Amino acid sequence: MAVSGSTLRPGIVALLCGALLVSACGCEDPGSPLVSHKHPDELITKAELEVLKRILGKLPEPLWADWRNCYIPTPDWPDTRTLPVSELVDEEQRKLNDRWDAELLKARFDQSRAIKLILRRERVTTEQFASLLLSVGLATSRSYVPKEFDLAAYERRGLIIVKQLKADGRPYEGLTEDEREQVLFRAVWITRLDRATRLLQPPAENVALVKRESELLAKLLPDEFLKNPLDELADPLEERGVPFIELPDSGSDADIPWTRSEALPHSERGAAAL
């Protein structure tokens, strides 16, 4: 007895679907062990850290030597910059943001055949590698900041000073030498604020994880992540409340009246007279 096409169609379709499913399971790509993009405020798993450690351990030494990407020097604007101070601040902040942009870091890694080959073997994309590296690096940096250091208060101070700079509409080139020096003195806080804000991002769990792996990470990560990034920006005079540079609102030492006789203690006046 002939079987109609309408009777066979459901069975054939089911059979084909089953065959395709088996075939797909048999040759399925296990996929990447990492998420598409890791943000610094997201938890880092031990498995993800193991993948990163394997990749870092395979990178050629010359490729990684003296690598510095995230913690760049403080502003040092030439006297000839014609932009207002406020726009120079915006420009500097964009530059700092770019240093932590995984997409831009990915573009740099894409130029290295060595890195791309290593990542392909680990089934990891350059974006996944870049974002995880930045997250682990930032958490490691945070682990070097002393527990007693008040990062939140440091950030609040930076917000106040940078806000003042962003309100300064004077063309930088038109400032006097002393005024430019004062602006640059305060502009250090653009960098301090950026670092403080980022160091507050990693969850405590990430910091604890990298601390447990600190001995091995110290051999694998770039040197810029293996220290407190605020140390190189410290100014003991400023932190103790003694300004090194005379600011407009604090007056000038030259305006303070004094005489030598009044400056010397009574016991020293007699010695001076002798």
- Residue for token pair 């003195």: 185
In the Cβ-directed half-sphere of 47, how many Cα atoms lie within 13 Å?
Answer: 5
Residue 126 has pLDDT above 80, yes or no: yes
pLDDT, averaged across the chain: 82
Structure tokens at 171: 């063309």
Which pLDDT does position 67 carry in this prediction?
Answer: 81
91 vs 248, which has greater pLDDT?
91
Residue 26 has pLDDT above 60, yes or no: no
Residue 22 has pLDDT above 90, yes or no: no
CA 5 – CA 41 distance, rounded (Å): 58
Which pLDDT does position 85 carry in this prediction?
Answer: 98
Which pLDDT does position 249 carry in this prediction?
Answer: 52
% the chain with pLDDT above 70? 74
pLDDT band at 20 (very low <50, low <70, confident <90, very high): very low
In the Cβ-directed half-sphere of 87, how many Cα atoms lie within 13 Å?
Answer: 9
Which pLDDT does position 251 carry in this prediction?
Answer: 53
DSSP string covering 200-232, please?
T-S-HHHHHHHHHTHHHHHHHS-GGGSS-TTGG
Residue 140: which H helix or E strand, with range? helix 126-143
The Cα angle at residue 59 between residues 57 and 65, in degrees rounded to 5: 105
Q: What is the mean pLDDT of residues 142-151?
A: 97
Whole-angstrom CA distances from 24 to 1, 13, 58, 67, 250 are 36, 16, 32, 42, 74
pLDDT band at 257 (very low <50, low <70, confident <90, very high): low
User: What angle, 0 to 180 degrees and rounded to 10, lies between the N-to-C axes of helices 46-58 and 113-121?
Assistant: 140
- With beta carbons less than 8 A apart as the criterion, state whether 83 and 135 touch: no
CA 245 – CA 180 distance, rounded (Å): 11
Contacts of residue 250, Cβ cutoff 8 Å, sequence gap at least 6: 243
Structure tokens at 84: 């207002």
Which residue ranges make up each domain of the chain?
43-233
pLDDT tens per residue across span 51-103: 999 999 999 876 777 788 999 999 999 999 999 999 999 999 999 999 999 99
pLDDT band at 36 (very low <50, low <70, confident <90, very high): confident
pTM over 0.85: no
CA 173 – CA 80 distance, rounded (Å): 5
Structure tokens at 119: 């990542």
pLDDT band at 21 (very low <50, low <70, confident <90, very high): very low
pLDDT band at 245 (very low <50, low <70, confident <90, very high): very low
Contacts of residue 242, Cβ cutoff 8 Å, sequence gap at least 6: none
pLDDT tens per residue across span 160-191: 999 999 999 999 999 999 999 999 999 999 99
